[in-house]
Structures are given as C-alpha cells and as structure tokens.
C-alpha cells in the first residue's frame, strides 16, 4: 500500500501530457500552447485613426480647412491630403502618411469646413508597428490560453493553434443496488450519486466528459461498456466501485482484461483506501472506492492530479491555514483528509461521520490533511487541499 505522497509521485512519473494537436481556436481556452506564436504582420498593420474626427496635414492651420472627402474604416485612403483640406475619419480609418487627427468635438464645423486653431489638440494616430512588429513573439510556447491570449491569436490569424488537448474522461458506475436518480427506491437500493458527482467535478476542471454508463457486477457487461464508443479511446477511464478485494469486486480484473497495467491497488488514505491506478500507453484508468465522500476526496487528491498531468496544467501547491474551532478531528492510523470550509487564512472542520456521509460535503471547499495518529488543535497551522 502506497502513501499519499508515494501515489502522487507515481502519478507524476507515469502520466505524461497528451500529444499536442491543432484545435479550433474557439475551443482552446484553458489549454496549454505548444510552440511560440509570432506576429504575422505589424500591429497596427497601417497608420490608423484612434478617434472620430478629421485628418489634416502635420503642421496645418490655423484657419479654415475644406472637408474634401471621408475615409471609412476598412477602406484604403484614396491619396494624400492637400494643403488647406481635411478628410473626415473614424476610429480605425486607414490614414495617408504624414497626417494627424483632430477630434470632432475639439473643432468647429460649418458649411463643409472646419476651423483649426493653434490650441486645437491633435495627434490621435496609431502608427504602423507601434504595438508589435512582424516576427515578434506574442504568445510564448507553454502559455495557458486565457481569453486575452485567445484574442491575440485571433488577431494574428492563428485559427488552429497547436495545443495539448483537453483530456477526455469516461466514467463507469457499478453495483446492482444502484438505480437512476429519478427512480423510486426499493428496499436496499440507493440512487446513483457518483455519476453526477464525477461529471460535475470533471467538467468543473474543464475536461471533456465523453460518457457515463452504469452496469451491475457483471464482468461481461463492464467489458462491453468499456470497449464501446467514448470509453475505448478515453484518456482517463474511471470505474466507480468494485476496487476492494470482495467477492464481487472485479474492477482489477476488468482493467487487466482491457490491457491496463495496474501500478497501484491501495493508498494509505482516509477515506479512499481502495484505489486502483493503471496505464495503457497514454491512457490512464482508475478504480475508485464506492462511497461518495471517498469519490470526492480521491478525485481532488489523485484524479485531478492525473488530469492536470494529461493536460499539462499547473499542479497547485499545498496551502496552509489556521484551524478554527469546529468539528472534532478524530485521529486515525491512516492519513486523513477531513472535509472543511476555508477562507481568509482560516479553516473550519465540518461534521463528518464516514465515507458514505454525503451531506457532509455541503459547503465544503477544502480538505484538512491530518497525519496518521495526529489530531490538530484549534489555532494550529494545518495543510489543506483546495476542493472548490
């Protein structure tokens, strides 16, 4: 059985970023760019007006100038501007060389002419290449693409950037006692909470959730589901339940039959001891313990780490907070991750009974790390894992 740190080290060693591929720009927010993106043209690509107003020769005036024509945005200028004349322009209008712009609100316009005075403010021209020059590196490789980078890539015409793709997750829930969330419960049955929980957690991270199915403990049904559309080529296959060593626990056999090499079968973690981890080429498979709190904890500890490795996303550091008065932290021989509410440098433990106590997760945004056989006191500095 591995320690928590030992399993995280194993994940970091075995899980590699997905091969980069070109993806439509509108789908790239939050993805890791592979390779520098340079400016293809000067920016601006031409002298252009920064205001609505009038273009005049540099040094023109004072006096009345005749409005000879206008230059609409998107049109090339028809030629230079003659002495004693002005061209009506708009924000973004392309300008002839050696002109300046006066704002329309700063001048008097009458009978097709404008009055230019010595005190009239002028300038308001965005000169060609004043922002960037062709060949300048605008977005370096390995940048995480935020809306700002998306806009810059659009500006340089990069419609399909080379990125690490969004990991695809497929999820199989198992158990004859599990029924759909809209079904009435018969004696001994429970509704499927793990399916919606995992989907919400996965989509919150920004991954592609490509499928969910539920089967009973039948090995054949599980294999058929995992070899079907969405599952067979998922980057991460999650199987809920069946990860222990009981008579009907078959997740290890399922993964072996599918060709995954099982690298770990359990972790010294409370909740979440039965945790299968395996790989098949670039694909990763995880057998999750069946109870919902175990799902929540192991997702934030291990599954999110796998997804971050696949997507080449940043790994968050452990953070610290001062423990407030709250629910009593019960020590255990395993390393415990206790549901809690954190904020303002403080953290408060929530009431929590066991790995099936689903309502204990309400309002939780952190997990308190408790070392084996320890019970931190109020006021002490504790490690926490973000769970929001």
Within the chain, what is the greatest distance between any pair of CA atoms? Answer: 98
Which residues of the chain form CATH 2.40.340.10?
319-386
Check residue 67 and give its pLDDT. 96
pTM: 0.89
- Do residues 234 and 170 lie in contact, with contact meaning Cβ atoms separated by under 8 Å? yes
Q: Which two tokens stand for residue 100?
A: 């300046």
* CATH 2.170.190.11 domain extents, the chain: 48-126
For 89-106, the DSSP string reads E-TT-B--SSEEEEEGGG
Query: What separation in angstroms does the CA of 102 have from each of 19, 112, 118, 129?
Result: 53, 16, 12, 21
Superfamily the domain 48-126 falls into: Molybdopterin biosynthesis moea protein, domain 3. (2.170.190.11)
Residue 147 burial (C-beta neighbours within 10 Å; 0-12, 13-18, 19+): exposed
Location of each CATH 3.90.105.10 domain in the chain? 21-40+132-164
CA distance 148 to 260: 40
- pLDDT at position 361: 97
pLDDT of residue 118: 83
* CATH code for the domain defined by 319-386: 2.40.340.10
Residues of the chain with CATH 3.40.980.10: 4-19+167-311
303-309 own/partner pairs: CB under 8 Å, 24+ apart: 303/201, 303/236, 303/238, 304/201, 304/205, 305/8, 305/11, 305/12, 305/15, 306/11, 306/15, 306/236, 307/167, 307/169, 307/202, 307/205, 307/207, 307/236, 309/11, 309/12, 309/15, 309/16, 309/17
SS3 at position 83: coil
CB–CB of 288/238 below 8 Å? yes
Hey, which CATH number is domain 21-40+132-164, 3.40.605.10, 3.30.365.10, 1.10.1750.10, 3.90.105.10?
3.90.105.10
The third-level CATH classification (topology) of the domain covering 4-19+167-311 is Molybdenum Cofactor Biosythetic Enzyme; Chain A (3.40.980)
Q: In the block, which residue shows the tokens 């924000």?
A: 91
Residue with tokens 């009055």: 115
pLDDT (0 to 100) of residue 248: 67
> Is the preceding omega at residue 161 within 30 degrees of 0, hence cis?
no
3-class DSSP assignment, residue 161: coil
Place of tokens 């395993």: 334
**Please, are residues 23 and 161 in contact by the beta-carbon 8 Å criterion?**
yes
304-311 helix and 4-14 helix, angle to the nearest 10 degrees: 20
User: What is the pLDDT, as a whole number, of residue 77?
Assistant: 87
Q: Which residues of the chain have pLDDT under 70?
A: 248
The pLDDT value recorded for residue 318 is 84
Angle between helices 194-205 and 304-311 (to 10 degrees): 40
- Tokens 């592979």 belong to which residue? 34
Rounded to an integer, what distance in angstroms lies between the CA atom of residue 71 and that of residue 125? 14
């Amino acid at each position: 059985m591995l320690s928590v740190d030992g399993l995280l080290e194993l994940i970091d060693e075995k899980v590699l970023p997905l091969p980069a591929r070109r993806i439509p720009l509108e789908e790239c927010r939050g993805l890791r760019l592979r390779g520098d993106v340079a400016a293809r043209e000067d920016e601006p690509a031409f002298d252009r007006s920064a205001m609505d107003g009038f273009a005049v020769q540099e040094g023109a005036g004072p006096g009345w100038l005749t409005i000879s024509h206008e230059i609409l945005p998107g049109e090339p200028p028809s030629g230079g501007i003659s002495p004693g004349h002005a061209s009506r322009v708009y924000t973004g209008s392309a300008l002839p060389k050696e002109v300046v712009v006066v704002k329309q609100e700063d001048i008097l316009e009458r009978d097709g002419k404008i009055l230019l005075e010595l005190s009239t403010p002028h300038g308001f021209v965005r000169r060609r290449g004043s922002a960037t020059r062709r060949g300048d590196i605008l977005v370096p490789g390995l940048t995480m693409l935020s809306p700002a980078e998306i806009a810059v890539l659009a500006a340089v015409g990069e419609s399909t950037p080379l990125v690490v793709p969004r990991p695809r997750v497929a999820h199989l829930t198992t158990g004859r006692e599990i029924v759909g969330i809209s079904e009435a419960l018969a004696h001994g049955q429970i509704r499927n909470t793990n399916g919606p929980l995992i989907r919400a957690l996965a989509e919150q991270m920004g991954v592609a959730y490509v499928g969910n199915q539920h089967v009973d403990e039948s090995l054949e049904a599980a294999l058929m589901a995992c070899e079907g559309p969405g599952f067979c080529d998922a980057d991460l296959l999650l199987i809920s339940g069946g990860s222990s060593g009981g008579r009907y626990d078959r997740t290890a056999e399922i993964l072996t039959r599918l060709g995954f090499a099982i690298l770990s079968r359990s972790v010294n973690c409370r909740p979440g001891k039965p945790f299968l981890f395996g790989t098949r080429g670039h694909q990763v498979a995880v057998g999750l313990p069946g109870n919902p709190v175990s799902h929540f904890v192991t997702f934030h500890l291990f599954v999110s780490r796998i997804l971050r490795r696949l997507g080449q996303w940043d790994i968050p550091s452990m953070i610290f907070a001062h423990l407030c008065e709250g629910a009593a932290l019960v020590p255990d021989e395993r390393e415990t991750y206790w549901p809690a509410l954190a904020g303002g440098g403080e953290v408060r433990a929530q009431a929590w009974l066991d790995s099936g106590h689903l309502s204990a997760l309400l309002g939780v945004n952190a997990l308190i790390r408790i070392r084996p056989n320890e019970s931190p006191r109020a006021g002490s500095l504790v490690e926490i894992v973000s769970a929001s």
